[in-house]
Amino acid sequence: MNKEIIIIDSICGSGKTQYAIQMINETENRDKKYIYITPFLDEVKRIKKNTNRHFYEPDYQTGRGKKYNHFRDLILDGKNIVSTHSLFINITEDILDSIIYNNYTLILDEVINVIENKYVTENDWEILVNNFIEIEECTNKIIWTEAEYSGRFDEIKNLANGNNLYLHTRSKKSDKGKTLLVWTFPIEVFKAFSEVYNLTYMFDAQLQKYYFDMYNQKYVYKSIKITEDRYELCDYLKSDLTKYKNLINIYDGENLNTIGNEYSSLSKSWFEKSMKRNTIKVLKNNICNYFINIINGKSKYNMWTVYKGVSELRDNIRLAVTGDGYSRGFLSCNARATNNYSHKYNCSYLLNKFMNPIDRGFFEDKGIKCNEDLYSVSELIQWLFRSRLRKDEPINLYIPSRRMRELLIRWMNNEF
C-alpha cells in the first residue's frame, strides 16, 4: 500500500522530538509498536529515558557480534526499538513481513542516506554486461539474469535483485576507467510500516524528497504548534524567519571576506586547488583573526566547520585550517540532531556547499528537478542550529563565501 508518509517539517528546536515522545506516551493501544530511528546515540538514550514504553536498543553481544542480528530478532519478536540511521539503512527485505505483521510505526528523526554510489572497473563491467545483467530501457535499472550465480559479483547480484540498482551514465573525470552504479534504499521498507513520521526541516531540499518523488511515494507536510504546554500536529505552517536578522550577527568586513567573493570560492574543488598551492593559509589566518581579534571569544564558545578532506586525504583540510583558540570547537558540516553545541555562539562556516553532482545528475536523469540553492542553505541552517541559535539566542557568524552569505540572507527574508 502507498500510504502517505507524514513529513513533520518544522524549524530546528520547534518541538518535533518532543511531539514524537508525547505521541508515544499517549498511545493507549499497547499492541501498537514503534521503531524510532535517530542519527545519534545520545538521542537513543533520550528516547529510552523519556518514553513510558520499554524500548530495546540493538547491541553487539545479544546479536552474536552484529547489532543487525539483534535488530532483526527484536523485529521478529515485535519489540519497540530505538536505534540509529547507520543500522536502519542496512535493513533487508526478508523482515518486511514481520514489520507488517507487528503493525509497526516508524519515527524517522532527520532524513537518511537513501542513495549510495557503487563503482566497478571497466573490465568487471564488461564481464557483467556480457554474462550476468541486462539494463532496463528508460530507467537504466540493472536486472540480474543468472539466478544460480555465486561468486565475486554477489554484492551486485543481491543489490540488483532488490530492484534498486541503477546504471548512472554521468561520472566525474576522476572516475575514468570505472563504471558508476547507484543503489537506492528499498522503498518497500517505508511501505511496510503502518505509519511513517519523518521529522526534519526544509524537506524540499533533501535527497530523500527527490527519492520519494522518483518512486511516486506519497507524502504530506505537517508542522508542530504548542498549545497549553502540549505539542500538536497541525497543517503545514511556514515559519516567519525575519527574527533571525536580529539573532545572526554576520561579519561583513571586506578584509576577511575577499577570499570567498567568487561563486565557486570555498567549494570542494576550490579547496583541492588551494591545498596544492598552499593558499589555504590565508583562510587559516582569517579564521584566527576572526576568533582572536574581532570576536575575542573564549574557545569553549567557538564553533567552526570546513570540509574535512579532499581526494584520499580524509582530514587534510581541517588540519590545515586548525589553529589555537578554536580547534576543539570543530563540528562536521553535516551534523544533525545533536544539542551538544547549544552553548556556542561564535561560529565560522568556512565552506561553500553544493550538491554532489552525481546525486543531482542521478535524479535529474529520472526527471526530478533539484534545487541546488535550497539544498545549500538547508545544510547551512542545520549546522547553525547546532549552536545556541536553536534557543533563539544571538550568535556571531563569519561566513566568507559570498554565495552562502547571500543564501542565508535570502532565507532570513523568507525568499525560499
What's the CA gap between 160 and 166, in Å, rounded? 8
d(CA 250, CA 87): 38
Strand locations in 280-361 (E): 302-305, 346-349
Q: In the structure grid, which three cell numbers stand for residue 306, read together? A: 570546513
Question: How many angstroms separate the CA atoms of 4 and 196, rounded?
Answer: 8
For residues 84 and 309, which has the higher predicted lDDT (pLDDT)?
Answer: 84
d(CA 301, CA 388): 10
> CA 185 to CA 181: how far, in whole Å?
13
Paired sense of beta strands 248-250 and 395-398, if any: parallel
Distance, in Å, from the CA atom of 279 to the CA atom of 262, rounded to the nearest integer, reads 15
H or E element at residue 120: strand 115-121
Query: Is the Cβ–Cβ distance between 258 and 398 less than 8 Å?
Result: no
* pLDDT on residue 177: 64
Residues 321/284, Cβ–Cβ less than 8 Å: yes
User: What value does the mean pLDDT take over residues 80-104?
Assistant: 93
Q: Could you please report the per-residue DSSP string of 228-242?
A: TTEEEEEE------G
Return the pLDDT at 279: 84
Question: What is the phi/psi pair of residue 386, to 5°?
Answer: -80, -20
For residue 2, report the phi and psi dihedrals to the nearest 5 degrees.
-105, 70
- Check: CB of residue 43 under 8 Å from CB of residue 52: no
Assigned C-alpha cell, 69: 542480528
Q: How far is CA 227 from the centre of its chain?
A: 30
pLDDT tens, 1-44? 568 999 999 988 889 999 999 999 999 988 899 999 998 888 89
CA–CA separation, 129 and 316 (whole Å): 38
Please report the pLDDT score of residue 1 as a whole number.
Answer: 55
Q: Are 213 and 368 in contact (CB under 8 A)?
A: yes
pLDDT tens, 150-208? Answer: 999 999 999 999 889 999 976 555 556 688 899 999 999 999 999 999 999 999 999 99
3-state helix vs strand vs coil in the chain, percent to 5: 40, 20, 40
342-344-349 Cα angle (round to 5)? 105
CATH fold for domain 242-412: Rossmann fold (3.40.50)
**70 pLDDT more than 60:** yes
- Which option is the CATH number for 5-111+190-235: 1.10.1060.10, 3.10.20.30, 3.40.50.300, 3.65.10.10? 3.40.50.300
Note the pLDDT of residue 94.
Answer: 86
Q: Is 102 helix (H, G, I), strand (E, B) or coil?
A: coil
pLDDT mean over 281-293: 95
Tens-place pLDDT, residues 304-355 = 999 998 766 788 999 999 998 899 999 999 887 677 899 999 999 999 999 9
> Of how many residues is the chain composed?
416
Q: Are strands 195-200 and 346-349 parallel, antiparallel or unpaired?
A: unpaired
> 218, 195 in Cβ contact below 8 A?
no
Residues of the chain with CATH 3.40.50.300: 5-111+190-235
Residue carrying C-alpha cell 550577527: 249
330, β-bridge pairs: 304
Q: Where does 313-396 have alpha helices with state H?
A: 316-321, 357-365, 372-384
Q: Quote the pLDDT of residue 353.
A: 96
Average pLDDT of the segment spanning 70-75: 96
Question: Which residues neighbour 379 within 8 Å (Cβ) at sequence distance 6 or greater?
Answer: 205, 333, 334, 353
Mean of the per-residue pLDDT values of the chain: 92
196-253 pLDDT, tens digit each: 999 999 999 999 999 999 999 999 999 999 988 899 999 999 888 999 999 999 999 9
